[in-house]
Amino acid sequence: MNVRLLRHTEDAELLCSAAAHSCYSKSTSGKLIDAMDRETAERRLEKVLSMGHQSVMEHASYTFSLEGVSRVLTHQLVRHRMASYSQQSQRYVSMEEADFVTPHSIQEKEETRRSYQELMDRIWAAYRDLSRVVPVEDARYVLPNACTTNITVTMNARELWHFFSLRCCNRAQWEIREVADLMLAEVKRVCPVIFRNAGPPCVRGKCPEGKMSCGRPRKEELSKI
């Protein structure tokens, strides 16, 4: 898989800080952003976010390219509805070349890896045979959830916080957790103040999973991102 941050709101932290400060000022956000230096912007934004006022983060958006991920992952991803998606079409893009994701648990064992590969070979053989006699849009019905795809994703910062809270958690499925960790690393690089405490709930305090908790907080692990 590959995760790439394509675009993000320019000076996102300055923008969010100006928007937040405009709620308590006679000045407009336009005047505030022109007069505000980055140090002041970061200090004010940190204060607002520490108070739990996260709506100001919605002014910043981020667009990612997720490449070579499975349809299993995208089925989970699109459940996050406060986002925009553009996914590679299996109707208009031929899938003749076998390209699929193999879970680590299958890859680690020779017997399961061989059985998995044989099944994928049969599936793609059937797909190629069907593609010669029926429309590709119908042949694709035999393709597995493991089939790779590419998807473009845009979320605002607040929705990304929610996404990271759920998908960076150890209880998330392994593939979407790996993608979420890579996405988090990308946004921390460009907006360290906004995403400083982003990640699973255990980064910020108590795990909310109760008896379902993994018992292994990821604070130290995510501090390396």
pLDDT computed for residue 219 by the predictor: 54
Q: Report CA torsion sign: 183, 55, 219, 213.
A: negative
The band of 209, judged by pLDDT with boundaries at 50, 70 and 90, is confident
> For residue 212, what are the CA distances in angstroms to 166, 170, 204, 221?
13, 11, 18, 20
Does residue 196 register a pLDDT over 60? yes
* Active-site annotation holder among 44, 158, 167, 218: 167
167 is catalytic: yes
pLDDT computed for residue 172 by the predictor: 95
Q: Which residues contact 119 (CB under 8 A, 6 or more apart)?
A: none
Tell me: the pLDDT tens digits for 154-173? 999 999 999 999 999 999 99
pLDDT computed for residue 211 by the predictor: 78
Q: Rounded to an integer, what distance in angstroms lies between the CA atom of residue 196 and that of residue 49?
A: 10
Structurally, at CATH architecture level, domain 2-85+149-222 sits in 2-Layer Sandwich (3.30)
Strand residue runs (E) in 88-145 = none
Q: What are phi and psi of 4, to 5 degrees?
A: -130, 130
